[in-house]
Amino acid sequence: MASLLHDPNVSHVSVPNQKSTTPRSTSFEVETVSTVPMQSNRSGESVVRSSSMSSSKDGVFLTWEDLWVTVPNGKSGSRSILGGVTGYARPGELLAIMGPSGCGKSTLLDTLAGRLGSNTRQSGDILINGHKQALAFGTSAYVTQDDTLMTTLTVREAVYYSAQLQLPDSMSKSEKKERADVTITEMGLQDAVNTRIGGWGAKGISGGQKRRVSICIEILTRPKLLFLDEPTSGLDSAASYYVMSRIARLDQKDGVGRTIIASIHQPSTEVFQLFNNLCLLSSGKTVYFGPASAANEFFASNGFPCPSLQNPSDHFLKTINKDFDMDLEKGLGGGAVPTEEAIHTLTKAYKSSGIFVQVQRQVAEICRQDCGAFEWKKSSHAGFVTQCLVLTKRSFVNMYRDLGYYWLRLAIYVALGVGLATAFYDIGFGSESIEARGALLMFVASFLTFMTIGGFPSFVEDMKIFERERLNGHYGTAAFVVGNTFSAVPYLLLISLIPGAITYFLPGLHKGAEHFLYFAVVLFTCMMLVESLMMIVASIVPNFLMGIIAGSGIQALMILGGGFFRLPGDLPRPFWKYPLYYVAFHKYAYQGLFKNEYEGLSFPNNVQAGGPATISGEQILRERWQMEIDYSKWVDLAILFGMVVLYRVVFLGMIKSNEKLKPIVRALLSVPSKKTTQVVVNPSVTPSATPLHGDQIQSQIQIRAQVPHVS
Ligand SMILES: Nc1ncnc2c1ncn2[C@@H]1O[C@H](COP(=O)(O)OP(=O)(O)OP(=O)(O)O)[C@@H](O)[C@H]1O
Ligand SMILES: [Mg+2]
């Protein structure tokens, strides 16, 4: 790699040391010698970031070439969000992506991190160390634009649990704690450590503090490739500077070059000086990609000099933001040149500039280096058992503190239990109690378990956190399922025992501890089953409203086909009997509970209709309820348990296959680079869109010819 950095053919733009905080125009000269960009902060402390400084052999060289991202746009075709973006990011360097809101910054980061949504199509090459490599699940850290955090935890707990999950088992607990504390202090959160993060309904830490907690969690492991989407949003200019400088200085801890790509809205002059490279986007097109310090000169040389005493980044954004052109027309903006025209001039100037040629050369050069495929070390994570234990504990604490997860449900269940107990109080053993018992048990097996759906919104929040942590490779899906299952057990036991006892003993159901325990265990298992079912639903539908509707619909169908409202013999064969009756867990819950209740009891018979004076429970089960009494109630319970395991395995399988299938689907949907020019571009969105000039196509073809064949 040294040859790359000092290759006489590769010219570098020299960046003079900047000590002043006021913007000044930098000399834009192309040299053949690599110069270390050096910036200094207000106190004179130097912040050095350069690929030559750190050991780049361990680092990640990321290149992207002619990247297009399109989304369907009604019947008219597709709209391009990114239009032929080319660039690179190197170890030890901080690349800033800037541009007006909606220009495609997050899309570019998502594309590079391999996280584009399924409705998008992408084309172009993204190479890691010159190789086409999947970049997902723990291969990099990505601080997304939205903060997805566990709202019930305090700042310290959130970071500490994350440290336990992510850092290897070879580190002691105290070392992990120390790393968490150091990182919290680095992000200036020491005064908020014991404050809960808070969220919907409970105010906690501020938005800017949440941002910093998100960053803390992702930099704990000091990742080699770090994506940050708006890391400074919600922060004041001083906090922004400190946060960015600490991110930029991650290298200095262990001397390993880190590749950092951050999108940023409003960098102050000091923050701007921390950037090595700048990617300026407008409507998905590159207005500028090159050394941050040379951007001023680029704008000046193309007729848009930065006015003195103005922050250069403000100037760049003002020049290329066309969202408010209507105001300009009314004379409110005060600009001399319409923004559309300015963007067109700058994109054209950039494409024909030496900087663009240099970027292309740099990309080709990185691709040509045989750095070998990057090996992502998985062993540097906590082991499976540790992850399961930590996740169980974290989830237990979250369930304990989130009133809506179980406590509210417990209260409602107790209220319903009291309702059932009073409605069916002392049902006795008369002939009328035969029907009453059936109705009571049906209500317990259907509607009490149905209400488990109430915890779904909280589970969806858990899933969002899981998705973020999973994508960043904090832990595996199996550990999440284990953690979620075991942490829920104590609460579900409480819910099935307390309201269960009220519902069981006050009406006077079949006496005996074994009978009550069976009743409570079936209730517990059914609630677990509904939770498992909702987990599967959560992995399919995108939000909790749709999930609740879908989950309720599925359960209502199962209740209908369970063999109570329509006796098994009367169920229409297609669908209702085969397969629904056998698939619905309600069948096994009804049969188990009914057998538990009726077997061993006898009731007075309807003598007027003839026959013996009493009727046995077994007879009632067989004739009145049409139950399969040739096998024991324990078999029904075993089937219910088996279903819990099966549902959780299905959930695990769905997430795993989703992870495996997504890259394949994306690869199938992505257009090979050669077909780039066939991508339909909505001309109304990008009026200045000229996919590629002839000479640029030529130069790119040449570059591609140099790229080693990638697998
Ligand atoms: N999946 C999608 N489907 C349709 N349009 C999309 C999709 N993703 C992004 N867009 C559109 O692409 C444009 C760029 O979005 P993106 O989120 O990348 O902007 P941004 O530069 O990050 O903006 P901000 O600074 O406000 O975060 C927007 O106009 C957005 O509406
Ligand atoms: Mg964004």
Whether the CB of 119 sits within 6 Å of ligand 1: yes
The amino acid that residue 206 corresponds to is: S
Whether the CB of 156 sits within 6 Å of ligand 1: no
Q: Could you tell me which of 531, 542, 626, 543 has the C-alpha nearest to residue 585?
A: 531
Confidence of residue 377 (pLDDT cuts 50, 70, 90): low
Per the model's pLDDT, the better-predicted residue between 158 and 666 turns out to be 158
Burial 584-620 (b: 16+ CB within 10 A, else e): bbbbbbbbbbbbbbbbebbbebeeeeeeeeebbbbbb
Per-residue 3-state assignment (H helix, E strand, C coil) for 449-482: HHHHHHHHHHHHHHHHHHHHHHHCCCCCHHHHHH
**Both structure tokens of 400:** 């304990």
* CA 357 – CA 391 distance, rounded (Å): 50
Confidence of residue 11 (pLDDT cuts 50, 70, 90): very low
Confidence of residue 617 (pLDDT cuts 50, 70, 90): very high
Residue 29 scores a pLDDT above 80: no
Instruction: State which ligand 1 atom lies nearest to the alpha carbon of 81.
Output: 12
pLDDT of 683 reads 33
Of 41-50, 504-513, 536-545, 651-660, give the lowest mean pLDDT range.
Answer: 41-50
pLDDT of 57 reads 58
Residue of 67, 79, 101, 105 best suited for mutating to test ligand 1, as the one with most atoms within 8 Å of CB: 105
Of 117-121, 279-283, 405-409, give the lowest mean pLDDT range.
Answer: 117-121
pLDDT of 374 reads 60
pLDDT of 206 reads 93
pLDDT of 112 reads 93
**Both structure tokens of 534:** 């909702």
Residue 303: phi, psi to the nearest 5?
95, 15
3-state secondary structure of 143: strand
Long-range pairs, 465-470, Cβ under 8 A, ≥24: 465/148, 465/149, 465/150, 467/148, 468/144, 468/148, 469/162, 469/165, 470/137, 470/655
- Contact at 8 Å (CB) between 292 and 271? no
Of 235-244, 488-497, 694-703, give the lowest mean pLDDT range.
Answer: 694-703
pLDDT tens-digit readout, 667-679: 776 655 443 333 3
CA dist 201 → 403, 464, 529 (Å): 11, 18, 29
3-state secondary structure of 562: coil
Per the model's pLDDT, the better-predicted residue between 206 and 39 turns out to be 206
| Average pLDDT over every residue of 78-93 | 93
The amino acid that residue 57 corresponds to is: K
| Average pLDDT over every residue of 604-625 | 86
Residue 35 scores a pLDDT above 90: no
Residue 681: phi, psi to the nearest 5?
-110, 130
Confidence of residue 24 (pLDDT cuts 50, 70, 90): very low
Instruction: State which ligand 1 atom lies nearest to the alpha carbon of 108.
Output: 18
Whether the CB of 118 sits within 6 Å of ligand 1: no
pLDDT of 32 reads 29
CA dist 486 → 8, 42, 395 (Å): 61, 51, 9
The amino acid that residue 163 corresponds to is: A
pLDDT of 329 reads 52
Residue of 81, 112, 321 best suited for mutating to test ligand 1, as the one with most atoms within 8 Å of CB: 81
Whether the CB of 262 sits within 6 Å of ligand 1: no
* CA 382 – CA 328 distance, rounded (Å): 56
Residue 39: phi, psi to the nearest 5?
-125, 160
Share the mean pLDDT of the chain: 83
Q: How much of the chain, in percent, has pLDDT values that exceed 90?
A: 66
pLDDT of 26 reads 33
pLDDT of 199 reads 82
Of 31-40, 213-222, 424-433, 559-568, give the lowest mean pLDDT range.
Answer: 31-40
pLDDT tens-digit readout, 318-348: 999 888 876 545 555 455 568 888 999 999 9
Q: How much of the chain, in percent, has pLDDT values that exceed 70?
A: 81
**Both structure tokens of 312:** 């250069």
Residue 486 scores a pLDDT above 90: yes
- Report how far Cα 687 is from the mean position of its chain's Cα atoms: 34
| Average pLDDT over every residue of 296-312 | 92
Q: Could you tell me which of 605, 392, 615, 367 has the C-alpha nearest to residue 491?
A: 392
The amino acid that residue 208 corresponds to is: G
Q: Which ligand is nearest to the CA of 73?
A: 1
Q: Could you tell me which of 223, 279, 333 has the C-alpha nearest to residue 98?
A: 279
| Average pLDDT over every residue of 453-469 | 92
pLDDT of 176 reads 95
Q: Could you tell me which of 571, 531, 525, 528 has the C-alpha nearest to residue 551?
A: 531
Whether the CB of 684 sits within 6 Å of ligand 1: no
**Both structure tokens of 152:** 């019930």
pLDDT of 336 reads 59
pLDDT of 78 reads 85
Q: Is 697 exposed, middle or buried (0-12, 13-18, 19+ CB in 10 A)?
A: middle
* CA 430 – CA 698 distance, rounded (Å): 93
Whether the CB of 284 sits within 6 Å of ligand 1: no
Residue 597 scores a pLDDT above 70: yes
Instruction: State which ligand 1 atom lies nearest to the alpha carbon of 107.
Output: 18
| Average pLDDT over every residue of 207-226 | 93
Whether the CB of 240 sits within 6 Å of ligand 1: no
pLDDT of 659 reads 82
- Contact at 8 Å (CB) between 151 and 202? yes
**491 CB-near residues (< 8 Å, 6+ apart):** 399, 405, 406, 410
Burial 150-174 (b: 16+ CB within 10 A, else e): bbbbbbbbbbbbbbbbbbeeebeee
* CA 9 – CA 33 distance, rounded (Å): 10
**227 CB-near residues (< 8 Å, 6+ apart):** 109, 112, 113, 140, 141, 142, 143, 261, 262
Whether the CB of 100 sits within 6 Å of ligand 1: no
* CA 254 – CA 54 distance, rounded (Å): 9
Q: Whose CA is nearest to atom 4 of ligand 1?
A: 71
pLDDT of 664 reads 78
Q: Whose CA is nearest to atom 29 of ligand 1?
A: 102
pLDDT of 690 reads 34
Residue 656 scores a pLDDT above 60: yes
**291 CB-near residues (< 8 Å, 6+ apart):** 13, 15, 37, 276, 277, 278
Q: Whose CA is nearest to atom 3 of ligand 1?
A: 71
Please give the domain boundaries of the chain with CATH numbers for all domains: 2-140+227-377+682-695 (3.40.50.300), 146-222 (no CATH), 384-665 (no CATH)
Whether the CB of 102 sits within 6 Å of ligand 1: yes
